[in-house]
Amino acid sequence: MELPRRDRGDERLTPGESTDIRRRLRLNAARHDLVTVIACAFDHRTRMLPFIYADTRMAPAGVRGIGSAMVDAGFEKTRIVLQQWNKKFRPSQMRLDGRIPDLFLVSSMGLHSDQAMEMIRDARRIDPAHRPLIIAGGPHAVYEPFKLFSTDPEDPNGPDVAVTGEEYVLMNLLEVLLSMRGDGERMTSVFDRARTSGALDAIPGLMYPRGRRDGIPEELVNTGVQRLLGDLDELPDSAIGFRLLEPPSRLATLGAAPVPVEQIRKLSPIASVVLTFGCKFNCPYCPIPAYNQRQHRLKSPGRIAEELSRLHTTYGIKHFFGADDNFFNHKQRTIEIVQALADARIGDVPLARRIRWGTEATIHDTLMMKDHLELVHSAGCRALWLGVEDMTATLVNKGQTVLKTQEAFGLLRDHGICPMPMMMHHDSQPLWSRGTNYGLLNQIKILRKAGAVSLQVLMMTPSAGTKLFEGAFTDGMVLEKVGGREVGPQMYDGNYVVASKLNRPWKKQLNMLTGYLYFYNPVWLIVKALDKKNRLKDKAIGMQIIGMLGLFQSVRRTSGWALRLMFGRIERVGEVPASKVPTRESCGTAPASSGGLVQLSVASAR
């Protein structure tokens, strides 16, 4: 099921409210003097193609955004810990400014949720008289918040509250809590009072547990769908988040100071930046349009140019990745952004000569932009990741065809922009097809010839918050255990076959590896190196090298799974994932104070 949407016209926050709430918090921040640690969960078992470099060399925008908002709201004592760089970090041992933090915030994607839960479990080991308020957020909390709350009496675990939205929801929560907080009162204690009084129920975008035992909910309360920030210019300066990063280390504890400014560029040579959100398409396997409540949200062209300039001048970062869902989604707005970037200067030098950036777009919209690709290039754009999925549009039809894909790739290549295709392999696609373009290798061959610089082949995997999600479970496609090994969340990255109608889907697993090997190999590296006419030659060589290294990792990590799929017993999931305890929808209003459990309506009980 897709994420629900607020009533039409009520999807967005009142303009100015997001800036205003941070201003209001700043007025009281000194009195509360909060210490906050924000951890980004990362499961190192997921390190392989096609994300092998970007996964650790690009400090994620989500935690940086949350850190920037905290500092902008006046809470300077904030540190961001990336498990990507601090594998051994133990929240139970964290001290910042000599104190156990007041707030411990955990951000996670679904596939890193084992690590997120382990960090939360560890934070709960802190003496209850001192333990921080634990708040979970990020994509996993957005799409499957109920999974963050343990229902196992042997393993009480879970955050105090999950934020199912963006920065504003956290600020809203803090404002409510701090307005009720006595001097020096523990955040967990004020949270308990707020929960009991129903004060949380008026904050859209939360899920919190209620029950007699901490860590074992008897019900979950869902306060409804967040209101989205419409004007992304209201976001705090994203440069702030970079100066909060914990230096990489093998220690369980935190360092005395964050990463020095001059080292940031080395650790995170790429900066992901929020430019736009939303996509006008409606692919059934994609949760993005519903998450955005069908809104297209942007930063203004001036703000984008200013932000990239500041990130470059402050930290020396030269490479940027737009966290866009479809950067070309709206032609006129895109032209305005790229024009502003092309015109921007740092001193006497054009910004676009100092920086390079890439982002995601669709084939359809790339063709719509075909008369403006020169401008896109002069704005500094050097790579576009394009969802070609299956070029014959058998899997999903969003107007892509072989001819259109070739045309778009050719145009990009001619304009010095690397086309980076993202493909989706599925049950009915063979490895090779005779006389048609349907096979995986046939399509890779076409893409390679058309100028693809990198390759992404992921297996079609059910994604929470999509139209296809529940059906994949009810149709018996989703695997639970194979050869005795359970499918863990870290395997939901598209690199493992975890859903298939085939009796023996091992071929699919090997097809992906074969596809990568066909694209990333020494022969093709030499071909690229000898190709004198190719304007993108250097990038293609670089990607071949990264690709071969990544392929080694992919083979190492996934071939055991292929063997299990070949010989092991395959057990399938029998039911759609849902909360095991009743979920009460709070309807966005505060119920009367109650010490016991209030149950208004049961949304999902299993």
Check residue 135 for interaction with ligand B12 (CB under 6 A).
yes
Please identify which residue in 13, 245, 274, 540 interacts with ligand B12, judged by CB under 6 A: 274
Which partner from the list ligand SF4, ligand B12, none does 362 bind, CB cut-off 5 to 8 Å by kind? Answer: ligand SF4
Contact range with ligand B12 by CB under 6 A, out of 6-14, 101-109, 121-129, 215-223: 101-109
Q: How far apart are CA 444 and CA 447, in angstroms?
A: 5
- The residue (of 67 and 258) whose beta carbon lies closer to ligand B12 is 67
- The residue (of 24 and 467) whose beta carbon lies closer to ligand SF4 is 467
Residue ranges in contact with ligand SF4 by CB under 6 A: 279, 281-283, 286, 288-289, 325-326, 362, 387, 398
- The residue (of 201 and 325) whose beta carbon lies closer to ligand SF4 is 325
**Smallest gap, in angstroms, from Cβ of residue 154 to ligand B12?**
26
**Smallest gap, in angstroms, from Cβ of residue 256 to ligand B12?**
24
**Smallest gap, in angstroms, from Cβ of residue 41 to ligand B12?**
10
Residue 513: phi, psi to the nearest 5?
-65, -40
Check residue 107 for interaction with ligand B12 (CB under 6 A).
yes
Check residue 477 for interaction with ligand B12 (CB under 6 A).
no
CB of 116 within 8 A of CB of 140?
Answer: yes
DSSP secondary structure letter of residue 576 = -
Sign of CA dihedral 20, 21, 24, 26: negative
Range 427-455 burial, b when 16+ CB lie within 10 A, else e: eebebeeeeeebbbbbbbebbbebbbbbb
Taking CB under 6 A as the criterion, which residues in 429-458 touch ligand B12?
458
Instruction: Report the first-to-last Cα separation within the chain, whole angstroms.
Output: 17
**Smallest gap, in angstroms, from Cβ of residue 299 to ligand SF4?**
18
Range 1-27 burial, b when 16+ CB lie within 10 A, else e: ebbebbeeeebbbeeebbbebbebbee
- The residue (of 498 and 581) whose beta carbon lies closer to ligand B12 is 498
- The residue (of 54 and 180) whose beta carbon lies closer to ligand B12 is 54
Q: How far apart are CA 72 and CA 504, in angstroms?
A: 53
Check residue 137 for interaction with ligand B12 (CB under 6 A).
yes
Please identify which residue in 110, 145, 236, 550 interacts with ligand B12, judged by CB under 6 A: 110
- The residue (of 132 and 494) whose beta carbon lies closer to ligand SF4 is 494
**Smallest gap, in angstroms, from Cβ of residue 205 to ligand B12?**
9
Q: In 3-state terms, the chain is what percent helix, strand and coil (to 5)?
A: 40, 15, 45
Residue 48 burial by Cβ neighbours in a 10 Å radius (0-12, 13-18, 19+): buried
3-state SS of 45-99? Answer: HHCCCCCCCHHHHEECHHHHHHHHHHHHCCCCCEEEEECCCCCCCCHHHCCECCE
- The residue (of 232 and 363) whose beta carbon lies closer to ligand SF4 is 363
CB of 275 within 8 A of CB of 324?
Answer: yes
| Rounded alpha-carbon distances, angstroms, from residue 599 to 59, 222, 501 | 41, 12, 40
Please identify which residue in 143, 146, 242, 561 interacts with ligand B12, judged by CB under 6 A: 143
CB of 321 within 8 A of CB of 54?
Answer: yes
Which partner from the list ligand SF4, ligand B12, none does 283 bind, CB cut-off 5 to 8 Å by kind? Answer: ligand SF4
**Smallest gap, in angstroms, from Cβ of residue 551 to ligand SF4?**
25
Interface characters, 479-498, with ligand B12 (x: CB under 6 A): --------------xx----
Residue 134 burial by Cβ neighbours in a 10 Å radius (0-12, 13-18, 19+): buried
Please identify which residue in 122, 160, 167, 201 interacts with ligand B12, judged by CB under 6 A: 167
Interface characters, 325-344, with ligand B12 (x: CB under 6 A): x-------------------
**Smallest gap, in angstroms, from Cβ of residue 368 to ligand B12?**
21
| Rounded alpha-carbon distances, angstroms, from residue 425 to 111, 151, 443 | 19, 35, 11
**Smallest gap, in angstroms, from Cβ of residue 54 to ligand B12?**
4
Check residue 158 for interaction with ligand B12 (CB under 6 A).
no
Check residue 323 for interaction with ligand B12 (CB under 6 A).
yes
Check residue 527 for interaction with ligand B12 (CB under 6 A).
no
- The residue (of 111 and 342) whose beta carbon lies closer to ligand B12 is 111
Residue with tokens 């050869």: 483
Q: For residue 261, count other CB atoms closer than 10 A to its CB.
A: 12
Cβ-closest position to ligand B12: 137
Q: How far apart are CA 218 and CA 210, in angstroms?
A: 6
Which partner from the list ligand B12, ligand SF4, none does 387 bind, CB cut-off 5 to 8 Å by kind? Answer: ligand SF4
Check residue 534 for interaction with ligand B12 (CB under 6 A).
no
Check residue 287 for interaction with ligand B12 (CB under 6 A).
yes
| Rounded alpha-carbon distances, angstroms, from residue 550 to 358, 360, 454, 546 | 20, 21, 12, 6
Which partner from the list ligand B12, ligand SF4, none does 209 bind, CB cut-off 5 to 8 Å by kind? Answer: none
**Smallest gap, in angstroms, from Cβ of residue 288 to ligand B12?**
5
Check residue 412 for interaction with ligand B12 (CB under 6 A).
no
- The residue (of 263 and 282) whose beta carbon lies closer to ligand SF4 is 282
**Beta sheet of 219-222, edge-to-edge order:** 78-82, 36-40, 103-107, 133-137, 161-163, 206-210, 219-222, 583-585
Residue 530 burial by Cβ neighbours in a 10 Å radius (0-12, 13-18, 19+): exposed
Please identify which residue in 91, 139, 158, 515 interacts with ligand B12, judged by CB under 6 A: 139
Residue 484 burial by Cβ neighbours in a 10 Å radius (0-12, 13-18, 19+): exposed
Which partner from the list ligand SF4, ligand B12, none does 326 bind, CB cut-off 5 to 8 Å by kind? Answer: ligand SF4
Sign of CA dihedral 201, 206, 212, 217: positive
Return residues touching ligand B12 (CB under 6 A): 46, 51, 54-55, 58, 60-63, 65-66, 105, 107, 109-111, 135-140, 142-143, 163, 166-167, 170, 272, 274, 277, 287-288, 323, 325, 458, 463-464, 493-494
